[in-house]
């Protein structure tokens, strides 16, 4: 492979020090954590550096960890892809459970515009500086962030549902 993971790791530590951490190989993808306040500069470096060349943002999504400590209850996960060397990386940013906020990367990758809106739609994560942070898939009137664990999956408006016929009894629900 043209671009070794050790090169990525050393370059990042050299430039950002303690802001990048927890490097490890997870399911064939090199993964690390970035402090949530420096995601934009790290991503810009990954994109523009002459050796790293992570020119493509494959995906961006949210995760809710309700059982973690307060300052790590939400995460935003970025997947980046270097097309020239065909190397992928995964970046995780942990956010505060009470105030999940992170800077937008839509200035670096225009494709993140809708992906950040989707993440806001389902998790309520605020992307600071986003040009149009509003719901994208769910209806605008919705008041919940449905993929957060505190919101029920089922619709409360259903009137014909008898829990017994759905295998839900007091023991298992």
Partner 1 sequence: MSDTSKYNTVDAPEGYAGEGFFATKLDSVVGLARANSLWPLPFATSCCGIEFMATMAAHYDVARFGSERMSFSPRQADMLLVMGTIAKKMAPILRQVYEQMSEPKWVIAVGACASSGGVFDTYSVLQGIDKVIPVDVYVPGCPPRPEQILDGIMRLQEIVKSESVRRRGSDEYKDLLGSYNIK
State the residues that interact with partner 1 by CB under 8 A. Answer: 137-139, 142, 144, 146, 151-155, 157-161, 166
Cα angle, residue 52 at apex, residues 6 and 34 outer, rounded to 5°: 70
Cβ at position 61, least distance to partner 1 in Å: 17
Cβ at position 150, least distance to partner 1 in Å: 13
Structural element, H or E, at residue 113: helix 112-123
Distance CA 26, CA 31 (A): 6
C-beta of 99 vs 168, nearer to partner 1? 168
45 beta partners: none
C-beta of 46 vs 62, nearer to partner 1? 62
C-beta of 29 vs 142, nearer to partner 1? 142
C-beta of 21 vs 138, nearer to partner 1? 138
Distance CA 76, CA 40 (A): 13
Cα angle, residue 109 at apex, residues 93 and 78 outer, rounded to 5°: 25
Cβ at position 166, least distance to partner 1 in Å: 8
């Amino acid at each position: 492979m043209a671009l070794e993971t050790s090169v990525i790791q050393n370059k990042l530590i050299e430039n950002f020090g303690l802001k990048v951490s927890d490097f490890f190989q997870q399911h064939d993808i090199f993964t690390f954590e970035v402090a949530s306040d420096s995601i934009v500069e790290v991503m810009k470096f990954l994109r523009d550096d002459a050796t790293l060349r992570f020119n493509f943002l494959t995906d961006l999504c949210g995760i809710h960890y309700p059982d973690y400590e307060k300052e790590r209850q939400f995460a935003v996960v970025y997947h980046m892809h270097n097309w020239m060397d065909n190397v992928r990386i995964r970046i995780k940013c942990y956010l505060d459970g009470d105030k999940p906020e992170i800077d937008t990367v839509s200035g670096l990758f225009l494709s993140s515009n809708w992906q950040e809106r989707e993440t806001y739609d389902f998790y309520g994560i605020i992307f600071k500086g986003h040009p149009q942070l509003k719901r994208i898939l769910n209806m605008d009137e919705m008041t919940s962030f449905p993929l957060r664990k505190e919101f029920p999956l089922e619709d409360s408006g259903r009137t014909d549902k008898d829990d017994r016929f759905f295998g839900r009894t007091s023991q298992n629900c």
